[in-house]
Amino acid sequence: MDVKNAIKYMVLSTLAFACMNATVKYLKNIDTYQIVFFRSLSSLFFTFGFLLKNKIPIIGKNNKLLILRSITGASSMLLFFMSVKYLSIGTAVALRYSAPIFAAIFAVILLRERIRPVQWLFFIISFVGIIVLKGLDTSINTTGLILVLIAAVLSGLVYIIINKIGKSEHPAVIVNYFMVTATVLGGVLSIKNWITPSGTDWFFLFSLGVFGYFGQINMTKAFQIASTNIVAPLKYVEVVFTATIGVLIFSEVYTLYSLLGIALIIGGLILNVWYKSRVKL
């Protein structure tokens, strides 16, 4: 187990994702459908290249589940990007990370999995964070909150679908299906809403896929060389990086209630990861 390198890879991953989030915020004058289109299209260069280089079949076996995962994931990404237009990026990312709460609910209902009472306590802590954000922080936009929570629900459903797919599909095949679907969805919806990007906007649009790809690659490397209980909590550093970028570049302001709400959301989720790593469920 190489803890030092795992931490390095995870920090690089969260930084890449934070840069992607900030880029979405920067492109506020570009239609969200276009952002989804370019983010996915630029990632396809990496996924298709990997599949072709390693001679991995592109189609896959579980086509229905792969398509369902792709549609659900693409919809979640679209709604999250929309929410960034209304919320500070750190808050949006923290709320998106509430997905494991919904994944646990889906797991109980659809997979008949067992969730221990203490885990529900941790999820309640995170949910209280959401209530604090909306109930006490008057700066939180209701439209943005609804969009990002629906995105989190769909993201939670994605976890369940991937669990059903299991190891029968190569991870690159799953990601490639997702990117193809998101490219088509974003492209079709962009037709009537097209805004011609400026010179610099083109660069930032295509950088979305690069940031997303390198974030995913470094995260995968981290999980491959160290235990989950060490690596998984580090992914929430993305919230810190993203919020910092929001303050420094976009002059975003986080109230005391915002910080408290974000801390409760992330704290509850980290506690759940820590607990699962020590108890066989």
- For the chain, the domain total comes to 1
pLDDT of 154: 95
Percent of the chain exceeding pLDDT 90 equals 48
Question: Tell me, what's the pLDDT at 1?
Answer: 64
pLDDT digits (tens, 9 = 90+) for 131-190: 888 777 677 889 999 999 999 999 999 888 888 888 788 888 888 899 999 999 999 999
Identify the three-state secondary structure at position 39. Answer: helix
The pLDDT tens digits for 221-250 are 887 777 666 777 788 889 999 999 999 999
Cα–Cα dist 20/99, whole Å: 19
Measure the CA angle with vertex 86, ends 39 and 31; round to 5°: 40
Cβ atoms within 10 Å, residue 51? 17
Nearest residue to 169 via CA among 56, 73, 45:
56
Q: What is the pLDDT of residues 64-76, one digit of tens each?
A: 999 999 999 999 9
| Spatial CB neighbours of 148, under 8 Å, sequence gap ≥ 6 | 79, 80, 83, 87, 92, 95, 96
Nearest 5 degrees, angle CA 201-CA 13-CA 146?
Answer: 65
Residue 280 pLDDT > 60, yes or no?
A: no
Instruction: Evaluate if residue 211 carries a pLDDT over 90.
Output: yes
| For residues 27-43, average pLDDT | 93
The pLDDT value given to residue 233: 79
Question: Domain of 57?
Answer: 3-278
CA atoms within 13 Å, Cβ hemisphere of 278: 9
- pLDDT reading at 279 higher than 90: no
Could you tell me the two tokens for 94? 């923290």
Q: In the predicted model, is pLDDT for residue 5 greater than 80?
A: yes
